[in-house]
Chains A and B, each alone.
Chain A
């Protein structure tokens, strides 16, 4: 039987409760953020007195009103909750307003007095590089001997690549509702991927103890990394307003505010040099990663690190040097976004391969294959981890065949020779994505499982449901481990008072970590229940029932050696209650055997790798730059899927989100650092008509993962990078204009504008067909 999303019936009827839907009494105040209009300025003075007098306004706060620490930076404490002395980006929070209505808050905003001294702002990464404005010290990963290798390589290519930012565009904008309790107690309903950190930030800004702060998160209306740290900001603001008004306060960003204030996927600039032989085998790569971090550190260093750890994607590079620098700019601090730097890091090596193919006049797919990690040799990453259980070859073989790649490649060549104004392109790209937080200690999770006397289970865990189906998988895992039907399992809202000290639901690790913790809790419960069952089933029976033979299955508990000796799960639970057996247990899991030394850039940061591969075909109207995505074939490795339909949904959704990043989603800032595309009017995520006309997504069958819960694999992030197949197919189409003799100027995103400019730059002299 198919298992559907545990909330689907509430989603489709509007019954699902998101934070903005929580029914709250009429004491509720609305919180608003007054933000900086300047990218860089010193605050000379401000006066809030007149604004405080506006009818319906209950509080206006500045940094002076923060009782605890003025910080909401998760790792480095360089991001104040409210601006202090200076502002460093447009949209930085300066004041908070609690009011009965939006009208009152708008009125107050008008009469707030603040004087700035405008300072020079750095809004481009190029300028930041020129001024060497590092957010944190640079990082390095190196293997082989790059200097030496370049002395002997037959071909060298050098270049630069820009990858653009990406707005998360979760449908539910950032939101937090805080409700005061007695004493210092405060409860936050927060749209956060990391309730534990939200709890910590609230405690810090209020100067209270963590045991006085409860954070609850039932579901998010999408997150994609955008609520890994930024949910904390809203929570800090709402909590501060609650502290001063003693009333419930809800802060919800409106769409334009959300797009202006919050961080995005990090734009990157790459400077690379690659050496390769006549066959297309890469012998050496020297690459510089510059990440545009915005004004504060947030998770930029971890994101940069993941980019560096994915700089070689699926390819064995014997000599490689990756230097990473996170640069400061006067833009909102950039943050986690699905893939967490991985997509950026991979974009560069995929560009290199694409260029090698053009230089050697070979098919790029062939060059990729030649450089794949080997099964038993050529399988050490630049950071020293061995690539085990390599699925690249099986994916390649199945996908080349199912996608009819060779035949279509020929058909496309014919089409391109016959058509002047429309060009087609095709590309195959692989993904190898490392699973685990690269800060190894974060790879831990907790659970609390309660069995009630009616035979139902309430499962609490530390992960957060953002639509990915985590709670559905947890429900399935709990049902299978406990041997009861899925309707007996309810997965509770994530709550810091139920399961403490958890990690963010991020790094694709939600099910791996929390599923294993739930399993641990259920094993403890079974350990307590089995003696009760065995004692009951062996009554008057010879030979006696052995505890080891007790099986939990389909709501029945039985002796596997004497299957007629059985009782219902409910009977067992009732009996255990009478016998005073505890039916509540905590579970815990930590990923074994992973480590990474940042100083040396070596270690085994990943528990395992997830693999995937895609072939995409596009048609480009070279007069308008319009791209039609004709067909995408995807084969993705999720080990033994816990719920195949949920995993397929992750693959499809991530792929389309990736297609948005590489095609239509573009951020443009003016010279003052103001984001021009701050609403869906001008920021274009894929619509229903932008998906492949022919969309074939399959999960790889028959390859269980020995390293994770129920032999499954993480799936949240890896498929986003399959969208490179679309990006490079577009490049292939443009390249065909000059019969693949000229390297088109190309970046992410390939918007219609960038495509037209790329075509415009092609020299007129080379066998021009238009």
Chain B
């Protein structure tokens, strides 16, 4: 198996041979770029994907067209670039030959201290390439992952609107066929195994290969978006000896619509899941719309969010409310597990050492069933839930026929308010009944106090969310 990865830096074919390199497979793209003399524009603001100062754009060949997306380079491992085009602010233009988004940033006073600016420019460039005529909401959404402490953002919105009048036409449009040709020449068939002597990093291109590698190396740490795992390197300074990177497996990114369900490949990124859910699973769409930032959603996967089994993961409550299942496979067999049974305790799942989560199955709702999701966080966007909830309700002739109340952030794992559910089942869906469950919810949970909120407020939030659900479904 190959020791090398190959990608385009701008339009320059670049190879990194990890058997003889100053870089390791867990070197981040940010660290790599900052080590080069010509790419100092990319900045480290937080090294955890929360500020966007390190934003780059990665272009991928999607059926003969380049798809440009923004990412936080601080939490991307170098091998994830394999087969793709990496663009930084320097690739867009220079001070004597500006790209339209750069020009617009100057003309609207979009930079003050300038440190966040290259990151903003790259997020704006992704908008410029993705949308012909972006709405204000689309612009805001695309720039939420970039923090600016100087401007108050208004001029940056204006700059994006101004640049987008060109409807995405720029030098990259002209270069596109050439770039695609170059990308097509890069190996994406034979699995890559990077071995530095200390560290192993596997890049399979098929699910079958991934499963066989997992069987052979059951201790390999599985990553896909790595938006969580990368922090173990950048923040906790951990050394990760063996990684199995699923991010290059196209088969795991597929989203299939069946008559009674939608099957999301575990490697589908949150942004793709979000767009797919908009009409079919609006409560999931709502939750994903306040999930991380666009940079994070372009990278994070549904499988990862479930697999990490975090008690404050945003998607499990709503997925449980939709009665989702996960499909897990090993090299020889597969099994389907209800998500509500999949997580067994704090950050622990039923997944065995030789298994991978391969898909998430969400059944379509039957007529008359309502699912809603709620997220309470200190800041609406780019924040982790203080308390989240996924609720399911079916009412027939005014009587509660079915109810499920899942909460995140209230216990060591996503937990349902079983006493309240039992109380409400078979009763009329009235405010009086709902208010009577408030003490039951209090009894059900003993949340913790932490950096996000005190336990008292968490309890208030949990109660209020049920009242909110009632007010929106009465």
User: Which residue numbers of A lie inside 8 Å of B, CB to CB?
Assistant: 2, 4-5, 7-18, 20-21, 23, 102, 106, 168-172, 219-224, 254-256, 420-421, 466-469, 623-626, 645-646, 648-649, 652-657, 664, 666, 668, 676-677, 679-682, 684-691, 695, 697, 751-753, 756-757, 760
Decide if B451 touches A668 in the complex (CB within 8 Å): yes
Minimum C-beta distance from A699 to chain B (A): 14
State whether the Cβ of B246 lies closer than 8 Å to any Cβ in chain A. no
Residue contact A469 to B112, C-beta cutoff 8 Å: yes
B112 touches A649 (CB 8 A): yes
- 18 more CB-based (< 8 A) A-B contacts, given A13-B94, A753-B453: A5-B112, A11-B118, A12-B89, A14-B42, A14-B88, A20-B44, A170-B115, A171-B113, A222-B150, A255-B47, A624-B468, A645-B109, A653-B149, A677-B451, A688-B140, A688-B146, A689-B380, A760-B460
CB within 8 Å for A649 and B378 given contacts A12-B106, A12-B121, A624-B464:
no
Q: Residue of A at shortest CB range from B106?
A: A8
A224 to B150, CA, bound (A): 9
Question: Which residue of chain A has the shortest Cβ distance to B92 in the bound complex?
Answer: A13
Q: When each residue 28-51 of chain B gets 1 if its CB lies under 8 Å from chain A and 0 otherwise, what string results?
A: 000000100101111111111011
Residues of B within 8 A of A256 (CB): 235
In terms of DSSP, what is the predominant structure of the interface of chain A? loop
- Smallest Cβ-Cβ distance to A252: which chain B residue: B44
Closest chain B CB from A753 CB (angstroms): 4
CB-contact partner of A687 in B106, B381, B384, under 8 A: B381
Q: Is the CB of A14 within 8 A of B41?
A: yes
Of residues 396 through 430 on chain B, the ones whose CB sits less than 8 Å from some CB of chain A are none
* B157 to chain A: closest residue by CB: A688
The smallest C-beta distance from B383 to any residue of chain A, in angstroms, reads 6
* CB-based contact B468/A421 at 8 Å: yes
**B111, A12: Cβ atoms under 8 Å?**
yes
- Whether A11 contacts B117 in the complex (CB less than 8 A), given A664-B379, A688-B157, comes out as yes
Which A residues are CB-close (under 8 A) to B452? Answer: 682
The answer to whether B111 and A8 have CB atoms under 8 Å apart is yes
Beta-carbon contact of B40 and A753 below 8 Å: no
Question: B43 → chain A, closest Cβ, in Å?
Answer: 7
Inter-chain CA distance A171–B120, complex, in Å, is 13
A704 CB to nearest chain B CB (Å) = 23
Q: Which residues of chain A have C-beta atoms less than 8 A from B144's C-beta? A: 687-689
Cα A290 to Cα B140 in complex, Å, equals 40
A666 pairs with B378, CB closer than 8 A: yes
Q: How far is the CA of A680 from the CA of B43 in the complex (A)?
A: 16
Closest A residue to B458 by beta carbon equals A753
> Is the beta-carbon distance between B43 and A421 smaller than 8 angstroms?
no
Chain B residues 366 to 385 lying within 8 A of chain A, measured CB to CB, are: 374, 376-384
Classify the interface of chain B: helix, strand, loop or mixed. Answer: loop
Which residue of B39, B102, B464, B467 has the most chain A CB atoms within 10 A of its CB atom? B464
Give the A-B contact count at a CB cut-off of 8 A.
Answer: 240
Q: A691: nearest residue on chain B (CB-CB)? A: B153
- Report if B465 contacts A (CB, 8 A): yes
B450 within 8 A of A: yes
Assess A13 versus B98: contact at CB under 8 Å? Given A626-B376, A695-B154. Answer: yes
A252 to B321, CA, bound (A): 46
- Across the interface, A684 reaches (CB within 8 A) one of B47, B95, B103, B378, namely B378
Q: Are B457 and A688 in contact (CB under 8 A)?
A: no
- B306 CB to closest chain A CB (Å) equals 20
List CB contacts (< 8 Å) of B328-378 with chain A.
Answer: 374, 376-378
Q: For A12, A222, A677, which residue has the most chain B Cβ atoms within 10 angstroms?
A: A12
**B143 to A, closest residue via Cβ:** A688
Query: From residue B431, how far is it (CB to closest CB) to chain A in Å?
Result: 10
A32 to chain B, nearest CB (A): 12
Instruction: Report whether A681 and B105 are in contact in the complex, using a CB–CB cutoff of 8 Å.
Output: no
Whether, in the assembled complex, B194 has its beta carbon less than 8 Å from a beta carbon of chain A, the answer is no
> In the complex, which residues of chain A have a beta carbon less than 8 angstroms from the beta carbon of B382?
687
If A222-B149, A752-B378 touch, does A171 touch B107 (CB 8 Å cutoff)?
A: no
**Smallest CB-CB separation from B156: which chain A residue?**
A688
B43: chain A residues at CB < 8 Å are: 18, 171-172, 221
List the A residue with the shortest CB-CB distance to B139. Answer: A688
Chain A residues in 8 Å Cβ range of B41: 13-15
Q: Which of A222, A626, A679 contacts B48 (CB 8 A)?
A: A679
Tell me the minimal C-beta distance from A601 to chain B in angstroms. 35
Can you give 18 A-B contacts (C-beta < 8 A)?
A5-B109, A5-B112, A9-B98, A10-B95, A12-B89, A12-B110, A13-B94, A13-B95, A15-B41, A15-B94, A18-B43, A171-B148, A256-B235, A469-B112, A624-B374, A624-B468, A691-B152, A753-B378
Q: Is the CB of B153 within 8 A of A688?
A: yes
Structural contact, A756 and B153, CB atoms closer than 8 A: no
Whether B461 pairs with A682 at a CB distance below 8 angstroms is no
Cross-chain contact of A467 among B44, B150, B377, B460 (Cβ < 8 A): B150
| Chain B minimum-CB-distance residue to A643 | B109
- Which A residues are in CB contact (< 8 Å) with B460? 756-757, 760
Q: Assess the A220–B37 pair: CB atoms within 8 A.
A: no
Contacts of B151 in A (CB 8 A): 649, 652-653, 656
CB within 8 Å for A753 and B457 given contacts A12-B106, A222-B115: yes
Tell yes or no: B176 within 8 A of A by CB.
Answer: no
B252: interface (CB < 8 Å): no
Q: What residues of chain A lie closer than 8 Å to B113, measured between beta carbons?
A: 170-172, 219-223, 466-467
Provide the residues of chain A in CB contact with B376, threshold 8 Å.
Answer: 624-626, 752
CA distance A657 to B152 in the complex (A): 7
**B106 near A652: Cβ-Cβ < 8 Å:** no
- Does B114 lie within 8 Å of A756, measured CB to CB? no
* Chain A residues whose CB sits within 8 angstroms of the CB of B235 once the complex forms: 256, 679
User: For A14, what are the chain B residues with a Cβ–Cβ distance below 8 Å?
Assistant: 39-42, 88-90, 118
- Cβ of A172 and Cβ of B157 under 8 Å apart? no
Tell whether B73 is near chain A: CB-to-CB under 8 Å: no
Contacts of B34 in A (CB 8 A): 20
CA of A648 to CA of B453, assembled, Å: 35
Q: Specify which chain B residues have a CB less than 8 angstroms from the CB of A649 in the assembled complex.
A: 109, 112, 150-152, 155
Q: Which residues of B contact A690 (CB under 8 A)?
A: 379-381
Q: Which of B53, B148, B461 contacts A756 (CB 8 A)?
A: B461
In the assembled complex, B471 has its CB within 8 A of some CB on chain A: yes
Residues of A within 8 A of B46 (CB): 255, 679-680
Given the interface pairs A12-B111, A14-B88, A691-B152, the reply to whether A624 lies near B40 with Cβ below 8 Å is no
User: Distance (Å) between the CB of A484 and the closest chain B CB?
Assistant: 22
Do A221 and B50 touch (CB < 8 A)? no
* A9–B155 alpha-carbon span in the complex (Å): 15
Query: Is B152 a contact of A656 with CB atoms below 8 Å?
Result: yes
**Residues on A with beta carbons closer than 8 Å to the beta carbon of B106:** 4-5, 8-9, 12
Contact A646 B109 (CB under 8 A): yes
Q: Is the CB of A106 within 8 A of B111?
A: no
- Complex contact A751–B378 (CB within 8 A): yes
Q: How far is the CB of A649 from chain B (nearest CB, A)?
A: 5
Say if the beta carbon of B454 comes within 8 Å of chain A: yes
Q: In the complex, what residues of A have CB within 8 A of residue B44's CB?
A: 20
Closest to A17 in B: B40
Chain A neighbourhood of B150, CB < 8 A: 222, 467, 649, 653
In angstroms, Cα B109 to Cα A695, docked, is 16
Q: How far is the CB of B28 from chain A (nearest CB, A)?
A: 13
Compute how far the CA of A254 lies from the CA of B237 in the bound complex, rounded to whole angstroms. Answer: 12
CA distance A664 to B144 in the complex (A): 16
Closest residue on chain A to residue B102 by CB atoms: A12
B45 touches A171 (CB 8 A): yes
A684 touches B386 (CB 8 A): no
Complex contacts, B45 vs chain A, CB 8 Å: 171-172, 255
Q: Assuming A467-B150, A685-B149, is B157 touching A219 (CB within 8 A)?
A: no
Q: Are the C-beta atoms of B147 and A171 separated by less than 8 Å?
A: yes
Rounded to whole angstroms, the CA-CA distance of A223 and B150 in the bound complex is: 10
Q: Which of B116, B121, B148, B451 contacts A682 (CB 8 A)?
A: B451
Q: Is the pair A680, B111 in contact by a Cβ cutoff of 8 Å? A: no
By a CB distance below 8 angstroms, the chain B residues around A655 are: 152
Q: Is B447 at the interface (CB under 8 A from chain A)?
A: no
Please give, as numbers and ranges, the residues of chain B lying within 8 Å of A467 by CB-CB distance.
111-115, 150
User: Which B residues are in CB contact (< 8 Å) with A695?
Assistant: 152, 154
